[in-house]
Amino acid sequence: MKIISVLLVLVASCLSGYMADDEGEPRLLASKNILNQYLVENKDLTVEYKIFNIGGSAAQNVRLEDAGFPEADFQLVAGNVQATWERIAPNTNVSHSVIVRPVSSGYYNFTAAEISYSAGADAKKRQVGYTSSPGEGGIVNFKEFNRRFSPHVVDWCVFAIMTLPSLGIPFLLWWSSKSKYDSKPKRS
């Protein structure tokens, strides 16, 4: 009898464990994306993190940490590279944004951030994961970006001044001949 009961308990625990894996575990998928179309030094760069819970139960104590923006290369403008959520319900998603500013130009490999969460309030074992990595991106030099995209107001003004002679000389010629006929009185 003892053996049978022990066996039954073992089977029950195995089964319950199996069922818990199927339904009751949270599973988070996290993506990290850079929203800028152009990455320019000394100009803001927006990073968006999205965390989706595709598991069967809520994820507790979710922590997102991104060590991929060291102080030497990036200046933090807005947001925090670390974020926590107490609870992410199943079949929901959350998002988080950070704005940084690259200090220098060149190619930079944007690596994945780390997220960690636990299945239950007891926090026995924290599950650690990586977000998706945006990959390598090129940070354009500020001068080159400006050369292409700034309004070039000074350049246009100089251009306008330089076109004045080619417009002004014919105008002066016409004006001088016109004024001759204006001042003469009508013949009687």
Partner 1 sequence: MKTFLGRFILLLLLVLPTTVMIFESGASGKFVALGDDSMEGEIDGEDDDDEGVVETDDATGDDGEQAVTETEKPEKEEEEEVDTSLKPSQDVDATILFTKPVNTNDLPSGKPVRFLVGFKNNGEKDFTVSSLETSFRYPQDYSFFIQNFTTAVYNQLVEPNKEATFEYGFTPSEAFNSRPFGLSILLNYKDNDGNEYQSAVFNETINVVEPDEGLDGETFFLYLFLVAIVVLLGIGAQQLLTTFGKKHLGKGKAAPKVEMGTQKTDVDYSWLPQETLQEINKSPKGSPRGGSPRKRKSKRGSGEE
Q: Which residues contribute to the site for partner 1 (CB under 8 A)? A: 27-31, 33, 50, 52, 54, 112, 127-133
Could you give the CA distance from residue 158 to residue 42 in angstroms, rounded to a whole number? 28
- Do 103 and 42 meet the contact criterion of CB atoms below 8 Å apart? yes
Q: Which is nearer to partner 1, 30 or 39 (CB)?
A: 30
Q: Which is nearer to partner 1, 91 or 104 (CB)?
A: 91
CA 139 to chain CA mean position, Å = 14
Could you give the CA distance from residue 180 to residue 80 in angstroms, rounded to a whole number? 76
Q: How far is the CB of 14 from partner 1 (least distance, A)?
A: 16
Q: Which is nearer to partner 1, 35 or 103 (CB)?
A: 35
Q: How far is the CB of 146 from partner 1 (least distance, A)?
A: 30
Q: Which is nearer to partner 1, 53 or 105 (CB)?
A: 53
Q: How far is the CB of 186 from partner 1 (least distance, A)?
A: 13
Could you give the CA distance from residue 169 to residue 165 in angstroms, rounded to a whole number? 6
- Do 131 and 83 meet the contact criterion of CB atoms below 8 Å apart? no
